[in-house]
Amino acid sequence: MFENKDTSKTPIAQLGEFGLIDHLAKNFEISSKTTVKGIGDDAAVLAPEKGKQLVVTTDMLVEGVHFDLSYMPLKHLGYKAVMVNLSDVYAMNATAQQITVSIAVSNRFPVEAMEELYSGIQTAAALYKVDVVGGDTTSSTSGLVISITAIGTATPEKIAYRTGAKENDLLVVTGDLGAAYLGLQVLEREKQVYKVNPNSQPDLEKYTYLIERQLKPEARKDIGGLLAELEVQPTSMIDISDGLSSEIIHICKSSAVGCNLYEDKIPLDPQVISACEEFNLDSTTIALSGGEDYELLFTVSTEDFPKIKANPNLTVIGHITKESEGMHLITRANTKIPLIARGWNAMEESE
């Protein structure tokens, strides 16, 4: 995982900016009927379906802040960069249809490295059925920067904002939480071991799920269709990128409500529980503050509970209260603790 194999490398300068764009873009095909013109002109041309609204989001990933290339393969990085953005579209209860990809890259990266990065982007675009319709490349003096913009559509009545949660609504989460953060801890530990002994071969078998959640997360494209099938319209929705507590607080503040979150309802994978014991970490703290899970958190009316209660993809973890009651975690010991946002913050200085 940490070995750098030296193969023949082509300097990016040999192709130039426009040559690199042509080289990397040639494999992308158009599949969405809302894409009129993709790569190859001054701008992409999109034609939203009648009666639908556009949803647009953008995210930037910076080397040394959001990713470490000593254990993040470039193909995985390309894939993850797409997921980060698609997740925000799905968090609006919308369907993702196009992305643009912009990169700033230093001369330490050869053309072959960019091919790896774009291979991951292409794999993600094909699997999630989104068109790559443009972007930009430029040089960087400080490593690799990736900025992706995602565009989606939804009918106005289907779009879920952060502002619609009402008193007595149920708090619901998809999947399980905390694994991505623990995957990062495992990779960081192995990086330190590798620095001391470059010949060591890490045994990562028992951490497979955790590492996959960190290196190759999946955005929850399936949830919008599932909710439509169940005839459930979320009253509010957000994706879990910065930790469960931060996202719940976003919804509560945006909707002017409070909440009770129940510790014993938070879904955890067995690998998360065992890794927390190994690292001497509290699993609830990891689920609340870990981040990068890219699951969806949403609220639904109590009337919809019978529709969702038996679904293995969804877990009811709490309920919405009056704003005056505040935001609380109800512990396993039935103690009420104020909910605090301790999620990851890229703007904080390193300690």
Note whether residue 67 is domain-resident.
yes
270 and 187 inside one domain: yes
Final residue in a domain of this structure, among 154, 184, 217: 154
208 and 328 inside one domain: yes
Once rounded to an integer, what is the mean pLDDT over residues 203-215?
94
144 and 177 inside one domain: no
Q: Tell me what pLDDT residue 147 has.
A: 97
Domain residues for 300? 170-338
CA distances from 284 to 72, 251, 276, 277 (A): 26, 20, 10, 12
Note whether residue 312 is domain-resident.
yes
| CATH assignment of the domain containing 287 | 3.90.650.10
Return mean pLDDT, the chain.
92
145 and 174 inside one domain: no
DSSP one-letter code for 11 = B
Nearest to 177 by CA among 272, 84, 85: 272
Please tell me the pTM assigned to this model.
0.91
The CA distance from 90 to 222, in Å, is 9
Note whether residue 230 is domain-resident.
yes
The helix (H) or strand (E) run that includes residue 296 is strand 295-300
Band (pLDDT 50/70/90 cuts) for residue 331 is very high
122 and 208 inside one domain: no
261 and 318 inside one domain: yes
Note whether residue 344 is domain-resident.
no
199 and 327 inside one domain: yes
127 and 69 inside one domain: yes
DSSP one-letter code for 60 = E
Contact partners, residue 74, CB within 8 Å, separation at least 6: 113, 116, 117, 120
90 and 146 inside one domain: yes
Band (pLDDT 50/70/90 cuts) for residue 162 is very high
Once rounded to an integer, what is the mean pLDDT over residues 153-172?
97
Q: Tell me what pLDDT residue 334 has.
A: 96
117 and 237 inside one domain: no
Nearest to 191 by CA among 174, 180, 178, 204: 204
Note whether residue 326 is domain-resident.
yes
The CA distance from 139 to 145, in Å, is 10
226 and 147 inside one domain: no
Note whether residue 272 is domain-resident.
yes
The domain tally of the chain equals: 2
Task: Return the percentage of the chain with pLDDT > 70, whole number.
Answer: 95
191 and 148 inside one domain: no
